[in-house]
Each structure stands twice: as structure tokens, then as C-alpha cells.
């Protein structure tokens, strides 16, 4: 289920999060959930162990009811870190995002082929 994540400080929308159903049950029970922030891949010398920082964003939910429809509103105090979360997309955005990703892949692939000449 896609839910909008809001800042607990000023109620501004931050991102749309794809929330798994098992997490919805926990959020409805007023528990905190942590979402991982995907870091940048790093090259490291062979043989040396590297410990990367693992950042998570803590989220909680509050119920919202309008007429007969009940949903959850997500909040966080970690606004800056939440901007780095892997976003979910609303149904009307999915096609455009997929087309943009395909176009970016093709441009990179063509550039790699030209560099091999």
C-alpha cells in the first residue's frame, strides 16, 4: 500500500512510501517502523572489510477517518533522511517513471558501446 509520509514538524509531505501489509498491521497497533535508506555503492580495496553506515528512518502512523473511509497518515521527525528513501509512485506516475528509466538505460548503454570503439 502506498502512503504519503509527512514531516511531524510542519506537516509538509516528504515522499510516497510503499508500505508492506505486515507493516500496516504494526502501524495500526501504534508501533514504530524503520525504513532503510539505500546508500551509495562504494568500491573498496580487496581483502579489507568495510563497514558502511546503515541509516534508517523511523516512522509512525496516526489514524485518519473521513466519512466512512479510514486510512493511516505517516509521520517522521527525520525529514532530511526521509528524502533519501526509495520512493513509491502513485498509479498515474508509474508509466512515466518506467519510460524515463528505460531512456536513461539506453543512453548509458549507447555511451558504453561508443566508448568501446
Mark whether 74 and 106 lie in a shared domain. no
| d(C-alpha 96, C-alpha 102), whole Å | 10
Mark whether 14 and 61 lie in a shared domain. yes
> Is the pLDDT assigned to residue 89 strictly greater than 80?
no
Mark whether 73 and 95 lie in a shared domain. no
Q: Is the pTM of this model over 0.75?
A: no
Mark whether 50 and 104 lie in a shared domain. no
Mark whether 19 and 62 lie in a shared domain. yes
Mark whether 15 and 62 lie in a shared domain. yes
Q: Label the pairing between strands 2-7 and 69-76.
A: parallel
Mark whether 81 and 95 lie in a shared domain. no
What are the pLDDT digits (tens) for 9-62? 999 999 888 889 999 999 999 999 999 887 766 667 777 666 667 788 999 999
Mark whether 72 and 93 lie in a shared domain. no
Tell me, what's the pLDDT at 58? Answer: 93
Mark whether 7 and 22 lie in a shared domain. yes
Mark whether 71 and 103 lie in a shared domain. no
Domain boundaries, position 104: 89-117
Mark whether 61 and 99 lie in a shared domain. no
Number of separate domains in the chain: 2
Mark whether 65 and 102 lie in a shared domain. no
In 3D space, the residue among 28, 12, 15, 11 whose CA is nearest the CA of residue 3 turns out to be 15
Amino acid at each position: 500500500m502506498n502512503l504519503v509520509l509527512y514531516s511531524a514538524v510542519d506537516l509538509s509531505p516528504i515522499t510516497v512510501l510503499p508500505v508492506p501489509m505486515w507493516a500496516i498491521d504494526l502501524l495500526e497497533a501504534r508501533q514504530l517502523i524503520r525504513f532503510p535508506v539505500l546508500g551509495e555503492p562504494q568500491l573498496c580495496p580487496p581483502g579489507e572489510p568495510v563497514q558502511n553506515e546503515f541509516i534508517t528512518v523511523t516512522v509512525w502512523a496516526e489514524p485518519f477517518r473521513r466519512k466512512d473511509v479510514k486510512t493511516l497518515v505517516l509521520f517522521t521527525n527525520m525529514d532530511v533522511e526521509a528524502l533519501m528513501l526509495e520512493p513509491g509512485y502513485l498509479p498515474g506516475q508509474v508509466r512515466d517513471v518506467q519510460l524515463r528509466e528505460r531512456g536513461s538505460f539506453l543512453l548509458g548503454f549507447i555511451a558504453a558501446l561508443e566508448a568501446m570503439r
